[in-house]
Amino acid sequence: MTDVETLRIRFAYVLITVLWANPVLLALAGNAVGNDNATLLTGCGVALAALSTLVWCLCGTHWLTRQVSSIATIGQVMLLVYAFARHPYQADMHMYFFAMLAVLAGWLDWRIFITAALAIAAHHTVVNIIHPIAVFTNGGDIDRVLLHAAIVTVQAAALGQTVAYLRKALEASEDARQAATAARHTAEQARHEVTVATVQAGIERQTVLHAVADDFERKIAGIARDVILSVQTLRSASQQMTMGATEVAERSGAAYLSSHQTSSSVIAVTQATTELAASIGEIDRQVSETARIVVSTTTKAGNVLETVNHLSRKADDIGNIVGLISTIASQTNLLALNASIEAARFGHSGSGFAVVAQEVKALANQTSQATQEIQSQIEAIRTSSELAIRAIDTMYMTIGSLNEISAAVATVVEQQNAATVGIAHNIEAAAKETILAADNIEAVSRVAAEAGEAASYVAQSADRLAAQSAQLDIEVAQFLGRIRAA
């Protein structure tokens, strides 16, 4: 319901009250001035009031109600003017027309003033001709009729313009109020949508952060744990390599002592050749002793060869583990690069993530450098192992020659006197070969010592890598905690 309709509904009650008050005024005026038609006039006023009330009850504030009630009001004023016929107040009662025209402005309808003005003009003109005393006290006066008509026209025009302007103002105010209400409703809806969008954005941001944290934990943290496990494996391998190198050194020392002992024996045999003619039994004993020492040396050399081969295999295993660590470091470096790209995409909120990614990248580079150093040491071990194997092969050949010489000595004992010079030369050559074997075994011992030192360095590198991996795991956990708490 509009403001105009609301005002018309309220004004209807006022106008109906005025319409029913006018018959009372007619009755009082007719009796006061002694008009013979007072009862008839009062009845006409009641009829006009009843007609207006009936139309109002049936049509509400419809245009028909406004027109009928307006004409009825003007008609009651006409009856009042007639009730004061020949009375000095009759001229004053004409002002009631103007008063009722002003009251009718409450309908907020400029069209009723046209009807009311025409009704007043027609009344004055017709009654002034038919029954002049009902209009003016002094009888008919066309000039006064025209004057009243002009005044009524001016008032009706002024009231009509005022009512039209007032109605437009009310309608504009109502439109503005409706627009304000709609705007307020729109603003409230927009505020609600913004609130919902903000909450939804917060939820989505939290979901994205959790997803990023989970993905980061699956990739980086998992790799860090794999690095820790690989470091543990590397530490165990380095310990085993250290133990193997120690064992090789011990066995090489034993072989070295045996080689020196063989050399001493051969030199003793060389010295005994001058007495070979006097004591064949002494020669037999020396040959047997030489054979026994050769067998022992052969056994120990085989053990040394097996140990060196075991050391070579361990070096290969370490090389494989180092290659695995290098691959993991490369993957860690690639993941750190991806993490840096993701951090850059998140802007300022990803700065902490970028710092961790740089730390991961630095750790990966350190790991790659460490694995390269370890690989170089392993290559050195492999080279030393190959040299040791070749030296032991040479020792095998020398020992084989010694076996042949011992067999020849055993078969030609009867010819010792004739072959003393040849035996001396052969034994001297065997002594030189034995000394060379001792030197080679000493080299094997040095290689074993170097392998032990390399294994110790590998163990130290593994410990540093383990500490860095543990620190990386802690920093990743803290970083994920900050992301999930954001």
Task: Give 4-39 pLDDT, tens digit per residue.
Answer: 888 899 999 999 999 999 999 999 988 888 777 888
- Closest among 52, 74, 84 to 65, alpha carbons compared: 52
pLDDT-derived band at 3 (thresholds 50, 70, 90) equals confident
Report the mean per-residue pLDDT for the chain: 76
Residue 228: what pLDDT?
A: 63
pLDDT of 235 > 90? The answer is no
Residue 200: what pLDDT?
A: 81
pLDDT of 263 > 80? The answer is no
Residue 388: what pLDDT?
A: 64
Residue 475: what pLDDT?
A: 73
What ranges do the domains of the chain cover?
3-140, 258-448
pLDDT-derived band at 68 (thresholds 50, 70, 90) equals very high
Region 258-448: CATH code: 1.10.287
Measure the CA–CA gap between 267 and 45, rounded to whole angstroms: 170
Are the beta carbons of 308 and 444 closer than 8 angstroms? Answer: yes
Over range 353-380, report the average pLDDT. 75
Are the beta carbons of 91 and 78 closer than 8 angstroms? Answer: no
Are the beta carbons of 66 and 107 closer than 8 angstroms? Answer: yes
pLDDT-derived band at 281 (thresholds 50, 70, 90) equals low
pLDDT-derived band at 141 (thresholds 50, 70, 90) equals confident
Between 137 and 71, the more confident residue is 71
Torsion of CA 335, 336, 339, 343, to 10 degrees: -170
pLDDT of 91 > 70? The answer is yes
pLDDT-derived band at 462 (thresholds 50, 70, 90) equals low
Q: What is the pTM of this model?
A: 0.40
Helices (H) and strands (E) in the chain, counts: 11, 0
pLDDT of 259 > 60? The answer is no
pLDDT-derived band at 220 (thresholds 50, 70, 90) equals low
pLDDT-derived band at 466 (thresholds 50, 70, 90) equals low
Q: Which helix (H) or strand (E) holds 423?
A: helix 416-485
pLDDT-derived band at 402 (thresholds 50, 70, 90) equals low
Measure the CA–CA gap between 477 and 366, rounded to whole angstroms: 21
Are the beta carbons of 420 and 283 closer than 8 angstroms? Answer: no
Over range 301-318, report the average pLDDT. 72
Are the beta carbons of 232 and 466 closer than 8 angstroms? Answer: yes
